Amino acid sequence: MKKTLNVIKIGGNVIDNSEKLHQFLLDFTALPGDKILIHGGGKIATELATSLGVEAKMVEGRRITDIETLRIVTMVYAGLINKNMVAQLQAKGCNAVGLTGADGNIIKAVKRPVKDIDYGYVGDLDEASVSVETLDSLLRAGLVPVICAITHDGQSQLLNTNADTIASAVAVAMAKRYDTALIYCFEKRGVMRDVEDDRSLVAEIRMDEFDALKAEGVVSGGMIPKLHNAFEAIKSGVSAVYIGKADELLQINGSSFGTRLIK
């Protein structure tokens, strides 16, 4: 019988709020069993870039990562945010280890090819990107990996990689050895029929309902790629995917946490 593993991705809106982050890390520490935490960077990278006179370049909501931006996101994601979270987890009794994809060669990416748009130093992942062996050895040693959204290409180049994509890729890879759940934590209770009404939670979404919910506008914007990644993960062996509110994480073992995505 496989051991259980929770792969949890924490959103930028929680990272940006010190009180919410403190509470989330308390709950994360209290969550039993093996776990891996994935994070991006929130607003801090954008604020630092502005203060240094580096203009943020966005195309259709996606960040263009030129060399100056790459330096900033590496400093912020892999340095300031990652090590701050690891230090807080250690203070709470969680023996965390902070990582980029380059550390232990845990996540190897490919620089996104230039088609219509040159996204710069952005990494794409495939089914061979994640080193299951290395992450498994860390978990068996009693460590909790905390992975930021910086990967590498194996040729000494660091790459900025979407944290949702990293979480999905890690969950899929680890599902070969663990009964793995993928949990996206952010500021909302889950997928809402009305984003202004917390009572309008969609408790469960089946794969065959996804297109209809997109057509209705219930699933829109940034939630579309998040759910697409989630259903791809389920197809690839992840046992369940949840999308829910960070401060309700400890309800994950009950039946009332967020939106559950199923086959």
Cα–Cα distance for residue pair 46/41, rounded to 1 Å: 9
Contact by Cβ (8 Å): 85, 39? yes
Ligand-binding annotation for 104, yes or no, is: no
Alpha-carbon span 5 to 172, nearest angstrom = 11
41 labeled part of a ligand binding site: yes
Cβ atoms 185, 249 nearer than 8 A: yes
Q: For residues 102 and 225, what is the distance between their CA atoms, to the nearest angstrom?
A: 25
CB 242 within 8 A of CB 31: no
What is d(CA 249, CA 146) in angstroms, rounded to the nearest whole number? 17
Q: Is 160 labeled as ligand-binding?
A: yes
260 assigned to a ligand binding site: no
Residues 6+ apart with CB under 8 A from 199: none
Q: Enumerate the known binding-site residues.
A: 41-42, 63, 160
What residues form the annotated binding site for substrate?
Answer: 41-42, 63, 160
